[in-house]
Structure 1
């Protein structure tokens, strides 16, 4: 096992949807990371995967196949495929998970179901053994609660292991080779949630009552959830740091 000092590339789609706890896990291990936003670029120049220690693709309001309005998505999907083929550690969150899935041939279901706020997610047998998710399960008889914020959904790509689900969204997390995708938001801590809820675009989409409810849910759940999520997300940083060259 050798130390890997190549940077992690974070593809971000909205200014307020940064890597959060994912970045904290990287920084705790002194792993460099950089952010790019290529959503609206035609044929953006992205680095070759041989120059990356890892790849993180964040969430956003775009649809995973909305190439006409956001032409940079096609380049993101190509980079995701190349990263998995090269066995680079990959993490996709929300839109990032959907891009990961459709890039590998999975079906995309726009507007499948609206899930918003903190709620339970059922961890599968593969999920309970997965290093990202096992820290979330503190009670064998109760599903962990996570932050949901999506309308679209995907099916799992061929060869992927489904790690978590809900009744209305059967694929809430999956692992495919070196890549893992989460439909929900483990990266969010209390300051990040506050920033999301204070964002003017959020205020346009949600009612005042919805914002107040999510804010209160965050106050109740994040003091326990965020530290456990950081333990799991830290394993992504470990995979980046110790990946064999």
Structure 2
């Protein structure tokens, strides 16, 4: 597994790869953390990478005035789909993947914050990333923190998970590109600052930030085990992929 490189795109302070990054590093993958919000320049192409991880953020997928780097992230996501490069978009990352590939994102009628149950579609039982999890546990729970959602999947996308409030919680494009609306990377310490920043929006949903964090704390061990295994499975997919020099080259400028 050593030697595989993953580009990780972080959209704002406090939204890093958290336990996901720790698991990938433990597997021997090299993490190239790009923080465009802090002035880092995104690469023009994914030539040098075995995998792409696009993280969450408080902005929406259309908020280019707030985050002017979003068009380039969408280009990289389209390139990843074209190459079938192992890719994972988390929350905003999934929303950007949806928009980049012709789907639609809208404001959620009922935003999800805190722990939430996920319902498994049949396709997940044979999915390369999700099958090891759903074989072991028919009841998945994950941390949610989103006010946007995918309304229409990209053409050809395979639905994998849903929830009571959000139809599209996870999907796959091709064989190696995934989007998840929930946050498999975070635990209680990671969301504590989110709660402090979102006091008003949480109160509008009838939620207390401290109670949301406490609920995650109570299930911390289970979340760490479940989604840590998910991170490791994605890391294996990255490491076992063909690598950057075996893929067909398509200049990013020619992508739709």
Whole-angstrom CA distance in 2 between matches of 1:60 and 1:82: 22
The answer for unaligned runs of 5 or more in structure 1 is none
Alignment of 1:152-171 (within 5 A): 152-154=148-150, 155-171=152-168
**1:154-187 Cα distance to aligned partner (Å, 9 max, x none):** 1211111111111321101001122111100111
SS in 2 for 1:157: coil
State the partner residue of 1:88. 85
Whole-angstrom CA distance in 1 between matches of 2:17 and 2:60: 19
Whether the aligned pair in 2 keeps the contact of 1:63 and 1:152 (CA below 8 Å) is yes
SS in 2 for 1:76: helix
Match of 1:115 among 102, 112, 116: 112
State the partner residue of 2:33. 35
**1:120-172 Cα distance to aligned partner (Å, 9 max, x none):** 111111123334434256554xx322111111111211111111111321101
Match of 1:49 among 31, 46, 50: 46
State the partner residue of 2:218. 220
Residue 179 in structure 1 maps to residue 177 in structure 2: yes
**1:49-80 Cα distance to aligned partner (Å, 9 max, x none):** 11112111000111101123322100000011
Larger fraction in strand: 2
The answer for unaligned runs of 5 or more in structure 2 is 247-256
Paired positions, count = 238
Q: TM-score, normalised by structure 1?
A: 0.87
Backbone CA RMSD of aligned residues: 2.4
Residue 151 in structure 1 maps to residue 147 in structure 2: yes
Q: TM-score, normalised by structure 2?
A: 0.84
